Amino acid sequence: MLFTFGIGTLPVLLSFGVLTTLISGSLTHQLLKLSGAIVIVLGAVMINRGLILTGSGYDLHSVIATLLRAGKPAPEASGQQSQSAFQTIAMNVNRWGFSPNQFTLRKGVPVRWIINGEEITTCNHRILVPKLGLEFDVKKGQQTIEFTPTEEGVIPWSCWMGMLHGEFDVIGGPGQVPPPAVAANTPEAAPVEAAPVLGSEPASPPAIAGAPPAPALVNTYTIAAGDSLSRIAARLYKDPQQWRSIAKLNPGLDPHRLHPGQVIKLPRAVPE
């Protein structure tokens, strides 16, 4: 292996040696300085990847995420939650990495992490979450990983090489943060009495004895196969142009790359 490595690098080293004999001494000195700077940058990159693999939260991405979170109100949880007291998140794995790779979870609430392995490579085939003691192989097709976050803060995770990474932003438990509405087309959906959500339609009046129960209202929607924002808007609001309101309410959402199982927010509540 060392012999093969030497043969592979020999042409580059010889070319560099020939090049240094053809240029001036001052330019050679500048190239050496540039080479030193490049080595330092590469070393910093490798150190950062090592910190990602430790899951300590001291890698560059985690530190920035923690600083940005400080002083801001707690975001809404990414997962769906029902009376069975668990939250569900969904993620696709392909050659480009993990999508999505950032989730907001509630402390103390069990999580079902649904992973859809679309394209498995030598890099993305294994995921490590050191803070949670999780280390598992990504399988072709769908698999579910269950865990319970017990501490607030940013929990980083990555592939086994530290090149592809993501994070869980764990916020307060159910007693501290109002639970989100349950997606209309999920099997776990169940009517839950809760305080009105800002921007949603008013709650239905009390049911009259003998009358059929009023449909529960929800403020989220789970993407299904073949969905687009215009189709969702046409189905829920009878107006395809409402897709712009949905896109505005979900910053970072790519309308051209919707993934089945992805949960999005709705501008106003709709019946289940």
CATH of residue 192: 3.10.350.10
Co-location of 164 and 70 in the same domain: yes
Contact predicate 91/114, CB 8 Å: yes
Q: Which residue has the higher pLDDT, 207 or 129?
A: 129
Q: Which of 229, 197, 182 is nearest to 81 (CA)?
A: 182
pLDDT in tens, 47-97: 988 887 776 777 787 777 777 766 555 555 555 554 457 899 999 999 889
Least confident of 48-52, 100-104, 107-111: 48-52
- Categorize the per-residue pLDDT at 230 as very low, low, confident or very high, splitting at 50, 70 and 90: confident
How far is the C-alpha of 246 from the C-alpha of 120, rounded, in Å?
A: 32
1 bridge partner residues: none
| End-of-domain residue from the set 150, 171, 192 | 171
- Categorize the per-residue pLDDT at 168 as very low, low, confident or very high, splitting at 50, 70 and 90: very high
Task: Say if 266 falls within a structural domain.
Answer: yes
Q: Which of 77, 113, 269, 80 is nearest to 186 (CA)?
A: 80
φ, ψ of residue 16 to 5 degrees: the values are -65, -40
- pLDDT of res. 238: 81
φ, ψ of residue 250 to 5 degrees: the values are -120, 75
How far is the C-alpha of 87 from the C-alpha of 235, rounded, in Å?
A: 26
Least confident of 10-19, 146-155, 156-165, 205-214: 205-214
Task: Say if 51 falls within a structural domain.
Answer: no
Taking 50 as the threshold, does the pLDDT of residue 234 lie above it? yes
**Which residues 6+ apart lie within 8 Å of 130 measured at CB?**
53, 54, 55, 56, 157
Task: Say if 127 falls within a structural domain.
Answer: yes
Residue span of the structural domain in which 141 resides = 62-171
Tokens of 134: 């999780």
What pTM did the predictor assign?
0.47
Co-location of 79 and 157 in the same domain: yes
- Categorize the per-residue pLDDT at 271 as very low, low, confident or very high, splitting at 50, 70 and 90: low
How far is the C-alpha of 48 from the C-alpha of 64, rounded, in Å?
A: 13
Co-location of 66 and 166 in the same domain: yes
Please count the structural domains in the chain.
2
Taking 70 as the threshold, does the pLDDT of residue 129 lie above it? yes
| End-of-domain residue from the set 148, 171, 194 | 171
- pLDDT of res. 3: 94
Q: Which of 52, 46, 84, 53 is nearest to 65 (CA)?
A: 52
Taking 50 as the threshold, does the pLDDT of residue 137 lie above it? yes
